[in-house]
């Protein structure tokens, strides 16, 4: 492989995952928005509360190992060790399968106690059970995705994600409506979640098919390789040395989220019970719990929109680790710095306008997507979460840079400190009867602001040639601020003559046009960034970037 081909590999893979991520998010929006309109607020709260349990077990099972797997395989490939690659995959697959089975057992047998004590929502028990098959399938699927990504082949991951999301859309919405009609509103979330598990099964079958299809070629390459692979025990030990700190860092976030969910639900229930005088039965059910579930459901619907900006970082973070690791394996620190800084710049170019746009148009966007929602409650929630999403995106990018450089322990401290800040802020604000649910997004914002500051300090001090955050941030931030102001002003003007829907769409259109113009005028993306992308030289000529 030529040097230019090596340089294009990073953003070539990122482009594939970016396109798939866009499709997945579009499908997810098509799924979550009508689902949010189909399900009542309280049932939507059950859906998202169960997802927090699911995400915890998924994090424990898959947060660190795919990163360790792709990193280890990319390093072995860079050294031409084909036999090592195959043995690494076999060890990782067995580990993924074991973790998936344990998680499946916990989410089925222990679903009742998890709903009652972990999230203070006993009505979410069937949702937790319905998600158990998905945990098992995603665990197994992660081993194949990590294998392909370690070979810089992002296509299987991207296509399987689209298949998973599409199956979830078709089956989930249909089952949600069917279960609501046959068994009542409370079971609508269960039907939707069964669709999630079905999508995981279909995606797993697809990616196994691709793996088996390419196995003959892999065996031929293995037979031509003379390297002696390390013993399975050594490989597992090396994988766990990298995976466990990453998992602990991610698990800390999931644990904080679980504590936060329980805290928010408990605080809201207590407020409705004591201040508003709503009856609460001895078994934890009643009007106070239902009122808390409804308010948490509104917050959950804003969270589905808030997830969009930083979800676009997934393609970049999936590519940063193997690309930087391969450069460091070749002792090319300058290339590692170049890739890291380009990824930061591209990531912020995506996250900043989306986050600022959500902040400027929080109420109108929620009114457009969820016509029956109380925008007086949902609008301010989304506006604060829009700013928070930028810091979440930056944290994901910083984490991937640190992980690629083998620094997986220090970020755990930052995440734990941020999580404690989040719990403290939420306990104080959500427990205030005058603030209630409005305190939840403030806790998220404070959490990731603290985490970002700490992780940027770690990068600056611990990496010999760190990327420049200032160069990556200033121009995209300036363009995003002007764009947000223009979108806000445009909505105010258009709303005098048009309805909310047309005014919101028009304001978003104005913001997009202004942002693109400013990015080009300010030269917020550099020729070096474009040179690393497929056909980047031609794009630079078309856009006249020099």
- From the list 140, 151, 200, the residue with the least C-alpha distance to 171 is 200
Element (H, E) at 46: helix 41-62
Q: Is residue 343 pLDDT above 60, yes or no?
A: yes
Q: What would the pLDDT profile of 528-545 be if each residue is shown by its tens digit?
A: 666 555 555 666 666 666
DSSP bridge partners of 280: 286
Residues 6+ apart with CB under 8 A from 276: 288, 291
Residue whose tokens read 């040395």: 241
Instruction: Give me the phi and psi of 280, to 5 degrees please.
Output: -130, 120
Residue 2's CB is within 10 A of a number of other CB atoms, namely 7
Could you tell me if 90 and 222 are in contact, meaning their C-beta atoms sit under 8 angstroms apart? no
What is d(CA 11, CA 528) in angstroms, rounded to the nearest whole number?
12
Q: What would the pLDDT profile of 425-481 be if each residue is shown by its tens digit?
A: 988 898 888 888 899 999 999 999 999 999 999 888 878 888 878 888 888 899 999
pLDDT, mean of residues 64-84: 75
> What pLDDT sits at residue 7?
47
* Cα–chain center distance at 79: 32
DSSP bridge partners of 286: 280
Q: Is residue 400 pLDDT above 90, yes or no?
A: no
The segment with the largest mean pLDDT, out of 27-36, 221-230, 309-318, is: 27-36
Q: What would the pLDDT profile of 482-513 be if each residue is shown by its tens digit?
A: 999 999 999 999 988 888 889 999 999 999 99
Q: What would the pLDDT profile of 135-177 be if each residue is shown by its tens digit?
A: 898 888 888 887 787 777 777 877 888 888 888 888 888 888 8
| Rg over CA atoms, the chain | 23
Please enumerate, as own/partner, the contacts of 456-464 that have beta carbons within 8 Å and a separation of 24 or more.
456/398, 458/402, 458/407, 458/410, 458/411, 458/414, 459/398, 459/401, 459/402, 462/402, 462/405, 462/407, 462/410, 463/401, 463/402, 463/405, 463/407, 464/333
Q: Is residue 314 pLDDT above 80, yes or no?
A: no
Tell me what percent of the chain is helix, strand and coil, each rounded to the nearest 5. 85, 0, 15
> What pLDDT sits at residue 255?
77
> What pLDDT sits at residue 220?
57
Q: Is residue 119 pLDDT above 70, yes or no?
A: yes
User: Average pLDDT, whole number, for the chain?
Assistant: 80
> What pLDDT sits at residue 6?
47
Could you tell me if 380 and 44 are in contact, meaning their C-beta atoms sit under 8 angstroms apart? no
Percentage of residues in the chain with pLDDT exceeding 70? 83
> What pLDDT sits at residue 1?
44
């Amino acid at each position: 492989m030529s040097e230019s081909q090596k340089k294009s590999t990073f953003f070539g893979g990122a482009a594939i995952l970016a396109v798939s991520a866009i499709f997945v998010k579009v499908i997810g929006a098509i799924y979550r928005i009508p689902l949010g309109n189909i399900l009542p607020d309280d049932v939507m709260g059950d859906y998202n509360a169960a997802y927090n349990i699911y995400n915890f077990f998924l994090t424990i099972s898959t947060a660190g190992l795919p990163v360790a797997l792709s990193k280890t395989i990319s390093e072995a490939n860079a050294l031409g060790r084909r036999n090592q690659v195959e043995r690494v995959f076999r060890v990782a697959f067995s580990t993924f399968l074991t973790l998936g089975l344990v998680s499946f057992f916990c989410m089925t047998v222990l679903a009742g106690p998890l709903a009652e004590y972990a999230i203070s929502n006993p009505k979410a028990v069937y949702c937790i059970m319905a998600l158990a098959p998905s945990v098992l399938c995603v665990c197994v699927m992660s081993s194949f995705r990590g294998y392909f990504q370690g070979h810089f082949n992002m296509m299987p991951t991207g296509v399987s994600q689209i298949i998973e999301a599409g199956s979830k859309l078709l089956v989930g919405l249909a089952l949600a409506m069917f279960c609501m009609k046959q068994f009542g509103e409370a079971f609508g979330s269960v039907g939707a979640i069964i669709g999630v598990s079905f999508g995981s099964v279909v995606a797993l079958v697809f990616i196994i098919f691709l793996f088996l299809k390419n196995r003959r070629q892999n065996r031929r390459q293995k037979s031509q390789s003379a390297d002696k692979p390390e013993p399975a025990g050594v490989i597992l030990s090396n994988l766990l040395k990298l995976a466990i700190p990453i998992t602990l860092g991610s698990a800390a976030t999931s644990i904080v989220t679980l504590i936060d969910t329980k805290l928010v639900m408990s605080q809201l229930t207590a407020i409705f019970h004591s201040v508003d005088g709503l009856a609460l039965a001895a078994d934890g059910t009643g009007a106070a719990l239902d009122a808390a579930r409804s308010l948490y459901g509104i917050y959950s619907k804003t969270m589905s929109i808030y997830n969009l900006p930083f979800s676009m970082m997934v393609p970049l973070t999936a590519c940063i680790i193997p690309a930087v690791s391969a450069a460091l394996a070749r002792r090319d620190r300058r290339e590692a710095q170049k890739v890291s800084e380009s990824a930061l710049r591209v990531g912020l170019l995506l996250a900043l306008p989306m986050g600022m746009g959500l902040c400027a148009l929080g109420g109108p966007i929620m009114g457009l997507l969820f016509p029956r929602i109380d925008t007086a409650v949902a609008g301010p929630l989304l506006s604060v979460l829009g700013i928070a999403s930028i810091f979440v995106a930056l944290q994901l990018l910083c984490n991937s840079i640190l992980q690629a450089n083998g620094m997986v322990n220090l970020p755990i401290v930052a995440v734990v400190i941020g999580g404690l800040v989040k719990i403290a802020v939420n306990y104080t604000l959500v427990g205030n009867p005058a603030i209630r649910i409005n305190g939840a997004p403030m806790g998220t914002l404070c959490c990731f602001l603290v985490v970002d500051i700490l992780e940027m300090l770690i990068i600056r001090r611990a990496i010999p040639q760190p990327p420049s955050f200032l160069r990556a941030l200033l121009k995209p931030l300036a363009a995003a601020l002007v764009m947000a102001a223009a979108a806000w002003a445009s909505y105010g003007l258009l709303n005098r003559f048009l309805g909310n829907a047309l005014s919101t769409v028009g304001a978003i259109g104005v913001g997009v046009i202004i942002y693109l113009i400013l990015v080009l005028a300010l030269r917020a993306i550099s020729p070096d960034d474009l040179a690393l992308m497929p056909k980047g030289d031609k794009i630079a000529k078309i856009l006249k970037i020099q």
